[in-house]
Each structure stands twice: as structure tokens, then as C-alpha cells.
Amino acid sequence: MPIFLDSGKLNEIEKYLKMGIIRGVTTNPTILLKDGVTGGIAGIKNRSIEIAKMISPYPLSVEVTKTDKAAMITQAKDIAQWSENINIKITIHGPEGELENLEAIHELETKHDVRINATAMMSAQQCFLAAMAGATYVSIFGGRVNNMGYNSCGEIAKLRNVLDQFDLKSQIIVGSTREVLNVIEWLEAGAHIVTVMPDLLNAMLVHPYSKETVKMFLNDAKKVEEPPHL
């Protein structure tokens, strides 16, 4: 499942599904607002159900908006019922470093059978703890790690090694993708999945030398098809 699309736009998602190159979709409130979703939670619910139906059986990540543990659990259980292929995004901790999020992740996975995408992580150690808590997916923001002056490939490789060493089943999602190069280098480093914005996916696919070569082929084909001049 190597590529998930970061998008809340139905036409974009449908476009890449038809190509057969995405295996899931991730959203968050920022993405959905940018992509024109209005109407608060009701609007998010309607769009999420549409996306989940479109991409089924591939997974869709939807993020909770609550910060209190009890409220997070209640909201996560509700969102998970919107569609069977929805998993719930919960950040590794609260805005001031509150630690209840990991309790909520553990409880939802082990007691309520809700699949969790633990997100907003910047290090292998954070992801390792989320995996220990039982998260189905552990999301590290590779682009932001690079921006902090560290090589995200090293963090990904370390994380994959410890997950394999301790037989933890969490899958590594690497997000915050900034460059086309990131996708392959992160997968090579050990990521199970990389999330990609549509513009980067286009850049992966369309190469200027490929365009030049296609034009040459077509021009030469016209010469072959043209009748000889007498």
C-alpha cells in the first residue's frame, strides 16, 4: 500500500483511482477546509462518507477535533461508524504536550476495535511508543523532520528496524512530503506508505524528457504514415 493521497477533493481522488496508483486517502481539518468543505462536522461527515465509498476497500483517515480524552474516544467511535474503511487520526499528544492522547489510542484499539492513525510525530521514538500502544498506523512527518535539520530517512530506517525487531504490527506512514524524491527515498528507507499531494503525484508521473521523447515518436510516426512525395 505504498501511496496514499492527501486530498479532500472528490474529482482528484477519482482521477488517481482510475489510474490505479493510490491505495488510500488521508485527510485532516486543514486539508478539508482548503478543499472547500463547509458546514462544520456535518460537512466533514458528508465528505468523508463520499470519499470512503469511492475508495472502498482502501482506507480513509479522518482526524478527531476534540482534545479531551473522553471526548476524543466518543468522537472517534462515532466517526468510525461512518464507514468500515475509515480509520481515526489522533495526534501523539495534545497541544501543550498532554499525554492523554496515547491512552485514548490504546483504549480505542484494544477495547473498541477502532483502527487508529497516530499522527503529527517527528521522531522514531514517538512512533515506537504509538506502535507499542497499538496504533494501526504511525505517521511521521518526514518533510518537517528534514526542515529541522535531520535526515528523515535515518528516522524511518530506525523505526522500521525496531518495529520488525519487536514484531509490532503498526505500518509506517510518512507524510509532509515536500519533494518528488521523498517518495522513493522514504519507501526505500522502510516506510510502508507515503502520503502525497496531487501536485507531487503529477510531478512523479510527468517527466520533461518523457514528453520530449513522446513528441519525437509522434513526429516520426507522422512521417511513416505520410505517403511518399512523387
Catalytic residue list: 89
Phi, psi of 100 (to 5 degrees): -70, -20
Residue type (1 letter), 131 = A
Distances (CA, A) of 222 to 40, 213, 229: 55, 14, 14
Which three cell numbers, joined as nine digits, stand for 189? 528507507
Let me know how long the chain is.
230
Residue 99 contacts by C-beta under 8 Å, 6 or more apart in sequence? 93
Rounded CA gap, 187 and 189, in Å? 5
Largest CA distance in the chain: 85
CB atoms within 10 A of CB 157: 16
Residue closest to 141 by CA, chosen among 115, 118, 167, 163 = 118
CB 90 within 8 A of CB 130: no
Rounded CA gap, 85 and 83, in Å? 6
Rounded CA gap, 170 and 27, in Å? 19
